[in-house]
Amino acid sequence: MDVTTVVAIGKEAMKITMLLSMPLLIVSLVAGLIVSIFQAVTQIQEMTLTFIPKILATAIALIFLAPWMTKLMVNYVVQLYSNIPMLIK
């Protein structure tokens, strides 16, 4: 196994990691932004108010995105495992 193969595997792993994490991070960011705007408009400055909506939004997004995320991860692992004989050469 040469350096380019290792870099290619690492690059693909980072791509999969970004694809898996970005939707949940974006949902959490949008929920936090909405709660912050709500707090600014109503002048409610409760620090714990931001956690519940973000957790709920992220959990709901995870429920809807879990099949896609699982399929993506399983496809990556199957591809990686199927390439093991070529990597050993």
Q: What is the pLDDT of residue 55?
A: 94
Pick the closest to residue 49 from 65, 35, 33, 63 (CA basis): 35
Pick the closest to residue 19 from 73, 78, 62, 80 (CA basis): 73
**Neighbour count for residue 53 (Cβ, 10 Å):** 15
Q: What is the pLDDT of residue 7?
A: 94
The reported pTM is 0.81
Residue 80 CA to residue 21 CA, distance in Å, equals 20
Residue 61 CA to residue 57 CA, distance in Å, equals 6
Domain ranges of the chain: 3-88
CA 6 to chain centre: 23
- pLDDT tens per residue across span 14-68: 999 999 999 999 999 999 999 999 988 988 888 788 889 999 999 999 999 999 9
Q: What is the pLDDT of residue 86?
A: 86
**Neighbour count for residue 39 (Cβ, 10 Å):** 15
